[in-house]
Copies of this chain bind each other. A is one copy, B any other.
């Protein structure tokens, strides 16, 4: 298992990263399972502990493993944090715009709405409906940003596809900024009521197991709420 036989163009650290990923795959490890420590891999691969330490740092940065102080490293869950870092970097360096991210978000979430209508459990449908109730109750108090974000994540979870969940979670930092901004533009009671009505239609379509209606409801949600906001930028 020595890494010396690999292509010379690949750095020792990258070879060590690949070896740990291969160990996870071959051993069929699952989320939360523990991995051998740096010392074990260092001696098995014939690399220094410094190289192995860098490799573990990169694996932790990529959220493939969780490393804590003194604890054994564990296999990590995909959670959107890595996607979120890329989105943040892409926007801050002008490689992509917020409108670009919102176009991706719409493509993804129109699908999560339809899948949620197909796959949601009764508990998930109830939780989605309850969140819209809470948005409606608090409509006069403040921008219900946290409820709005939670609703989109719940819908992704109800889709039954964990990759959609990770992607939708990655939008959360941007939504923390954008949702209150969008809310500011809804100055009349009527505008705010319309926003609640659209979320309600989405929750109802998911509860009714109606994928076509859920798709349309999510699409028109993006047209109205998000589209309006982006045109103002």
Chain A residues within CB distance 8 Å of chain B: 13, 17, 21, 24-25, 28-31, 54, 57-64, 75-78, 82-83, 85-90, 92-96, 100-101, 103-104, 107-108, 110-111, 115, 161-164, 166-167
Contacts and interface: CB of A to CB of B under 8 A. Distances in A.
Given A86-B82, A107-B111, A163-B100, A92 B31 contact: no
A10 to B, nearest CB: 13
Contacts of A61: 17, 57-59, 61-62
Contacts of A78: 86, 89-90, 95-96
Given A30-B93, A111-B107, A88 B166 contact: no
A29 B93 contact: yes
28 contacts: A25-B92, A29-B93, A30-B93, A31-B93, A31-B95, A57-B61, A58-B60, A61-B62, A62-B82, A62-B85, A62-B86, A64-B85, A64-B86, A75-B93, A76-B89, A78-B89, A82-B82, A82-B85, A83-B83, A86-B166, A87-B163, A96-B161, A100-B162, A103-B111, A103-B161, A104-B161, A107-B107, A107-B110
